[in-house]
Amino acid sequence: MVKICCIGAGYVGGPTMAVIALKCPKIEVAVVDISVSRIAAWNGDQLPIYEPGLEDVVKQCRGRNLFFSTDIEKHVAEADIVFVSVNTPTKTQGLGAGKAADLTYWESAARMIANVSKSNKIVVEKSTVPVKTAEAIEKILTHNSREIKYQILSNPEFLAEGTAIQDLFNPDRVLIGGRETPEGQKAIQALKDVYAHWVPEDRIITTNLWSAELSKLAANAFLAQRISSVNAMSALCEATGADVTQVSHAIGKDTRIGPRFLNSSVGFGGSCFQKDILNLVYICECNGLTEVANYWKQVIKVNDYQKNRFVNRIVSSMFNTVSGKKIAILGFAFKKDTGDTRETPAIDVCKGLLGDKAKLSIYDPQVTEDQIQRDLSMKRFDWDHPIHLQPMSPPASKQVSVVWDAYQAAKDAHGVCILTEWDEFKTLDYQKIFDNMRKPAYIFDGRNILDVEKLREIGFIVYSIGKPLDPWHKDTLAVA
Ligand SMILES: NC(=O)c1ccc[n+]([C@@H]2O[C@H](COP(=O)([O-])OP(=O)(O)OC[C@H]3O[C@@H](n4cnc5c(N)ncnc54)[C@H](O)[C@@H]3O)[C@@H](O)[C@H]2O)c1
């Protein structure tokens, strides 16, 4: 029986391994982690991450051929294929701080593999890593090898949170990069055989190691660039009276452009886009490609601009101050159908409003109070470390309350901000919300999910990103 071990039981390691276990009943899959609480949650009733369909998959194979464990060394020693899906945060100190990937966790995983291995292994990069990381990993493993042979493969993960199980069941492509030697090709074939249990062969792409590593960074950079492009257009739409939804629809009909990832919003978030672009920028700079680095940097700058613009719009429309005013925040996760808040635009929007002394009442169907308070107090990039190594939670901010109901959040509020596109926000009783708010009552739709005309009929002053402005907003100061 082939044995797989995955180091790192997070958003990637957990779902990907659960799907491999489901689709390959003859393969034994162990997912290991240094976080005791995370492994306990994977073995319990409340899984550590929310992802539609995940629970069902885990329940079908847990205890059969899927195991979650903290006994890392045992499972790594026994495995034929070791996936590494640990954190690769942005460095906060030293060389490359603020941009380069911190490979501390990866390196310690590689050293541990070298220490405990007694048989030959295929080591698979599942984490997103800088191009050429495989070379470094290879060096660590071979210099500590004790006659054991390793093959390194790059098999980046393209799942999107919120649709992870669907994406894993039916991936657009699986990418496997390896050495162009007979041993490298044999290793590629072994991993191909795993995916071939359910992925059609023409969707399994094989490349050299560096192309696979770079393709992951490139894919995220391209996706984020589309969002920043449409968000840049949204600012121009507001200035000219064009409607960004109409513009997106019109350009998306061009088959060369296509309709996806053209929704304007308060900005992109999630654990990957910013981190991977910063990493790409750093690699470009290290290779002397300043113009290329600047091009990609701009994608992040426009994203920051969009979040600032949103905050400025709120403050300027409320007579230039939100001090002491209650603002309801509907949605905190970085997108719908996930409880993940890593780099969610809600953090920057909330911090911007708190900086102007607003009182926030936050509701998200999947995010806990503790998580929100932590996110609002954590330093940049601190979130991307194993849970037990993150800074302790500071005392909860008195300016922030977290509630479990959208109506409660909006009660007596001056304004409501939609920051995540949860479906339930589309069908709220906005008349009831309006009746219970201070007047003038504002809505700021950061996801363009609401019916602007209907809300205006109720009496709201509405701001919806990239849509023709309400006369109220036209009269307020231009936003930077
Ligand atoms: N989240 C996504 O949507 C996504 C998609 C594609 C790729 N990625 C990449 O995959 C990697 C993992 O991302 P994630 O979202 O799963 O992160 P995560 O923080 O959810 O999970 C990482 C896990 O690794 C564990 N870990 C860290 N060092 C370890 C070690 N030495 N031994 C054992 N366990 C260790 C941590 O405790 C944590 O549980 C990152 O490189 C990320 O960029 C993420």
* Tokens describing residue 459: 């009496």
Is 42 close to ligand 1, i.e. is its CB under 6 Å away? no
pLDDT in tens, 71-103: 999 999 999 999 999 999 999 899 999 999 999
Same domain, 279 and 402: yes
Run of H or E including 7: strand 3-7
Which H helix or E strand runs over 183? helix 182-195
Predicted local confidence at residue 29, as pLDDT: 98
Q: Is residue 43 part of a domain?
A: yes
Residue 331 and residue 256 share a domain: yes
231 vs 266: CA distance, rounded Å: 8
Say whether 86 counts as a known binding-site residue.
Answer: yes
Q: 315 and 443 share a domain?
A: yes
Q: What is the CATH number of the domain that holds 326?
A: 3.40.50.720
Q: How far apart are CA 440 and CA 415, in angstroms?
A: 9
Q: How far is CA 151 from CA 23, 180, 190, 259, in A?
A: 24, 11, 11, 40
Q: Which of 5, 7, 12 most suits a substitution to test ligand 1, by most atoms within 8 Å of the C-beta? A: 12
Measured CA to CA, the distance from residue 448 to residue 234 in angstroms comes to: 11
In this structure, is residue 260 part of a structural domain?
A: yes
> Do 311 and 386 fall into the same domain?
yes
* Domain-embedded: residue 212: no
List Cβ neighbours of 264 (8 Å cut-off, separation of 6 or more): 230, 231, 233, 234, 244, 245, 248, 448, 465, 466
The answer to whether the beta carbons of residues 33 and 39 sit under 8 Å apart is yes
Q: What are 101's two structure tokens?
A: 């990937």
Domain shared by 295 and 171, yes or no = no
pLDDT per residue over 358-390, tens digit each?
Answer: 999 999 999 999 999 999 998 878 878 887 777
Q: Decide whether any atom of ligand 1 lies within 6 Å of the 31 Cβ.
A: no
Please compute the mean of the pLDDT values over residues 428-440 and round it to a whole number: 98
User: Average pLDDT over the chain, rounded to whole?
Assistant: 95
pLDDT bin (cut points 50, 70, 90) of residue 471 is confident
- 156 within domain boundaries: yes
Q: Known catalytic residues? A: 272
Do 422 and 309 lie in a common domain?
Answer: yes
Instruction: Assess whether the C-beta atom of 339 lies below 6 angstroms from ligand 1.
Output: no
pTM: 0.95
- Structural domain includes residue 204: no
State which of 32, 33, 116 you would mutate to test the pocket of ligand 1, scoring each by most atoms of that ligand within 8 A of its C-beta: 33
Q: 166 and 233 share a domain?
A: no
59 token code pair: 């329940």
Average the pLDDT over each of 53-67, 203-217, 220-234, 462-476 and give the range with the smallest value: 462-476
Q: Based on the domain organization, do 395 and 324 belong to the same domain? A: yes
pLDDT band at 2 (very low <50, low <70, confident <90, very high): very high
Residue 186 lies in a domain: yes
Strands (E), 136-289: 150-154, 174-178, 204-208
d(CA 211, CA 209): 6
DSSP, res 427: G
340 and 435 co-located in one domain: yes
Determine how many CB atoms are found less than 10 A away from the CB of residue 13: 25
Residues 4-14 have pLDDT tens digits of: 999 999 999 99
How many angstroms from the chain centroid is the CA of residue 87? 13
The number of domains in the chain is 2
Q: Note the pLDDT of residue 474.
A: 76
CA dist 217 to 61, 67, 203, 273, 279, Å?
A: 32, 30, 19, 9, 8
pLDDT(200) > 90: yes
Within this chain, do residues 189 and 226 fall inside the same structural domain, yes or no?
no
In a domain, 213, yes or no: no
Cβ 386 under 6 angstroms from ligand 1: yes
Distance 433 CA to ligand 1 centre (A): 40
What residue numbers bound the domain in which 315 lies? 220-475
Question: What's the rounded Cα separation, in Å, for the pair 416 and 431?
Answer: 13
Cα–Cα distance, 390 to 471 (Å, whole number): 46
5: helix, coil or strand?
A: strand
Range 446-450 average pLDDT: 98
Does the C-beta of 219 come closer than 6 Å to ligand 1? no
Q: What percentage of the chain carries pLDDT values higher than 90?
A: 91
Same domain, 245 and 104: no
Pair 237, 352 in one domain: yes
- Give the containing element (helix H, strand E) for 282: helix 273-286
In a domain, 91, yes or no: yes
Q: Tell me the HSE value of 438 on the side-chain side, using a 13 A CA sphere.
A: 13
| 11 has binding-site annotation | yes
Q: At what angle do helices 13-23 and 54-61 cross, to 10 degrees?
A: 50
